[in-house]
Structure 1
């Protein structure tokens, strides 16, 4: 059975930015500050290394409600037993991913256009990551930046909840919620900061003030 999920503050771990605090420590501290989901993204690691990392993050967050997401690597997601797999449009079809991971794991998909959003099947996909809103050095091969107007247009076509991603920081929280997003995904706004817990706490407080209800 899939776990309930909250996209509000979605942390994407980055191995280079997390050199001051390890990826595991950053995840632990960020969740203590309010992060609701943590994505393990390590492009240079092997599947075995990603499995080990994901298991360590899961253990660190065991007594919290935060969910652990694996980026791209479906074999690592299955072996590590994470809560969710997140794939890009070019990684594999959502139907193929769902067939591999089964019905109990959440599936997120990255989208960058209204047509891609409109084509999503909510029977297969649980949430989308929409972006990049701005250009970001943490993912140099990203698609054309959308801006907030483009973000809102895509979210209006999404049949599932959406989290905004791409160069987003604390000053963008209000605009993210105004776009209709259900959450903000951040990398450098938490990873690599002197105090990941405090950085997450400040973001979380802004989110509480910005989101409806």
Structure 2
């Protein structure tokens, strides 16, 4: 999938799912990815911190193939080499990972690149670098990411929502209990881990969240 196509999916699909086996209720990443795809989610990120390179490559290659067959954007977290090796459509990097310019040089022009941000300066930096989108958060306290930053400030939220030319997904404690509020504030993309992959019925969880967003859109 070309970068423009992946970006279009990012802009039109409100639900962004992040995989992590420790939170998959024993299903494993591949089976979880299959259920997420079957639920109609169009943006999936693979995020594994504690497996070997070869273990991650074996899994990510299978998930990438599943995503490509289904027309789903597949994003690799952190690892440029893994992203290239498994044919990922995108790469997501944090503030402590390889800088955007280096990732772009290695990955080439057709790969979507997202950057994690927590502050106004980090958003400005991502925009200046030319990132395709930013992940912004954590919005709320979260247990899904042990090394998460402090919750974003109200000032940073106000700034983020003024950056109309920078696609943004909010992350961190996001779920059905607060999505309507976030939507009404102006957010349109919601990156989630446990609110999707830790649910017994992934399809039902995704349908419920789509219903919440649809109702929030109708209410204005």
TM-score if structure 1 supplies the norm length?
Answer: 0.90
For the 8 Å contact 2:126–2:134, the answer to whether it is kept is no
Q: Which is helix-richer, 1 or 2?
A: 2
Moved >6 Å (runs of 4+): none
- CA distance in structure 2 between the aligned counterparts of 1:123 and 1:79, rounded to whole angstroms: 24
Q: Which residue of 1 aligns with 2:9?
A: 5
Q: Which residue of 2 aligns with 1:97?
A: 103
Residue of 172, 179, 184 corresponding to 1:173: 179
Structure 2 residue runs of 5 or longer lacking an equivalent are: none
Count of aligned pairs between the two proteins: 213
Given the superposition, is the C-alpha separation of residues 181 and 133 from structure 1 closer, same or farther in structure 2, using an over 3 Å criterion?
same
Q: 1:1-213 alignment to 2 at 5 Å? A: 1-2=2-3, 3=5, 4-6=8-10, 7-121=13-127, 124-146=130-152, 150-157=156-163, 159-211=165-217
- CA distance in structure 1 between the aligned counterparts of 2:20 and 2:57, rounded to whole angstroms: 16
Comparing 127-136 with 24-33, which one deviates more in the overlay?
24-33
- How far residue 21 of structure 1 moved from its aligned partner, in angstroms, is 1.9
TM-score if structure 2 supplies the norm length?
Answer: 0.87
Given the superposition, is the C-alpha separation of residues 33 and 149 from structure 1 closer, same or farther in structure 2, using an over 3 Å criterion?
farther
Q: What is the root-mean-square deviation in Å for CA atoms of aligned residues?
A: 2.2
- How far residue 66 of structure 1 moved from its aligned partner, in angstroms, is 1.8
- How far residue 203 of structure 1 moved from its aligned partner, in angstroms, is 1.3
- CA distance in structure 1 between the aligned counterparts of 2:70 and 2:216, rounded to whole angstroms: 24
